[in-house]
């Protein structure tokens, strides 16, 4: 295949292994691609300051797709190339629906996380892993009541995230919210959450917007992902790569299935897709 101008990579479950580590093998593959002039672009559900330091410190990362595509950041200039937000009123109505359910929820606004204090104090009950709990506790500011805080500040909301204990309820809620709020994108990135963004705040839209901004043909892009919030990016890229540990729907839509995130799948896929003939 022709070498891409952009390689966009989801982080958790894709570029990072199950221990949330960027392995030397994956990093070496990214460095080689960057040395060949390919833009390496993290594409994550996290906000920029919530990305692991091992990713933010990579010297060849010039752009980042964050918050499921709600923001595309020019890292060197510290400016946003793209922002796609839920209007405050829409976000509050979504939260009112979530208030009816036995869940906890938060939101990302202005590049940070916020959460009603009473829900923040329940985080340990709902976080599926210690890593997820640490992210909630360290990357959310508790406020007395989130809807009131948004009314007071007028913030547009980049993402709402809810955590469930009941998987059937989670599935029903995804379907209900998608029907009630057709201008949103409802997805998931971990075993017990749902994520609600603006309909245009999807990784696929963001990838295409970035490609246009820096003069790369969308056909000359490659994207790696594992979960439903990566699906639009897998479909939008010239070459979509799913991880073997990924959701079935993502694997079905991908052009190529890489080994799992615990088998240096990114490095293996890049070697096969880009360098197989060179290295033979």
Per-residue pLDDT reduced to its tens digit, 7-19:
999 999 999 999 9
d(CA 28, CA 37): 15
Query: Model confidence at 277, in pLDDT bands (50, 70, 90)?
Result: confident
Residues in the chain: 280
Q: Does domain 88-198 have CATH number 3.40.50.1820?
A: no
Q: Which residues contact 198 (CB under 8 A, 6 or more apart)?
A: 70, 84, 85, 86, 183, 184, 185
For residues 79 and 251, what is the distance between their CA atoms, to the nearest angstrom?
A: 33
Does 6-83+201-279 carry CATH code 3.40.50.1000? Answer: yes
Q: Report whether pLDDT(280) > 70.
A: no
SS3 222: strand
pLDDT at residue 276, as a whole number: 87
Q: Grade residue 1 by pLDDT with cuts at 50, 70 and 90.
A: low
Give tens-digit pLDDT for 86-134: 999 999 999 999 999 999 999 999 889 999 999 999 999 999 999 999 9
Closest residue by Cα to residue 226 from 199, 201, 263, 198: 263
pLDDT digits (tens, 9 = 90+) for 211-228: 999 999 999 999 999 999
Whether the predicted model's global pTM rises above the 0.95 cut:
no
According to DSSP, the residues that pair with 115 across neighbouring strands are: 142
C-alpha distances (whole Å) from 13 to each of 47, 51, 92, 120, 191 are: 17, 14, 31, 25, 11
Examine the pLDDT at 243 and tell me if it is beyond 70.
yes
Domain range summary for the chain, segments of one domain joined by +: 6-83+201-279, 88-198
Quick check: 266 pLDDT over 90?
yes
Tens of pLDDT, residues 148-197: 999 999 898 999 999 999 999 999 999 999 999 999 999 998 899 999 99
């Amino acid at each position: 295949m022709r070498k891409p101008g952009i390689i966009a990579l989801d982080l958790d479950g894709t570029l990072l292994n199950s221990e949330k580590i960027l392995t030397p093998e994956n990093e070496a593959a990214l460095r080689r691609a960057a040395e060949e002039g390919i833009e390496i672009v993290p594409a994550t559900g996290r906000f920029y300051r919530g990305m692991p330091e091992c990713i933010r410190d990579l010297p060849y990362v010039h752009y980042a797709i964050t918050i499921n595509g709600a923001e595309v950041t020019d890292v060197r200039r510290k400016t946003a190339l793209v922002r796609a937000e839920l209007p405050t009123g829409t976000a509050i109505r979504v939260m009112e629906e979530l208030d009816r359910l036995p869940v906890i929820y938060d939101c990302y606004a202005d590049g940070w996380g916020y959460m009603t204090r009473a829900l923040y104090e329940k985080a340990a009950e709902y976080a599926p892993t210690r890593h997820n709990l640490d992210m909630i506790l360290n990357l959310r500011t508790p406020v007395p009541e989130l809807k009131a805080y948004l009314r007071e500040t007028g913030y547009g909301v980049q993402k709402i995230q809810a955590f469930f204990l009941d998987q059937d309820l989670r599935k029903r809620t995804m379907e209900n919210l998608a029907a009630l709020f057709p201008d949103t994108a409802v997805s998931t990135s971990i075993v017990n959450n749902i994520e609600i963004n603006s309909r245009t705040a999807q990784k696929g839209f963001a990838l295409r917007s970035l490609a246009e901004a820096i003069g790369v043909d969308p056909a000359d892009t490659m994207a790696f992902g594992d979960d439903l919030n990566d699906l639009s990016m897998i479909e939008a890229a010239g070459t979509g790569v799913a991880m073997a540990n990924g959701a079935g729907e993502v694997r079905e839509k991908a052009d190529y299935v890489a080994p799992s995130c615990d088998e240096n799948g990114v490095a293996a896929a890049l070697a096969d897709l880009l360098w197989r003939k060179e290295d033979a």
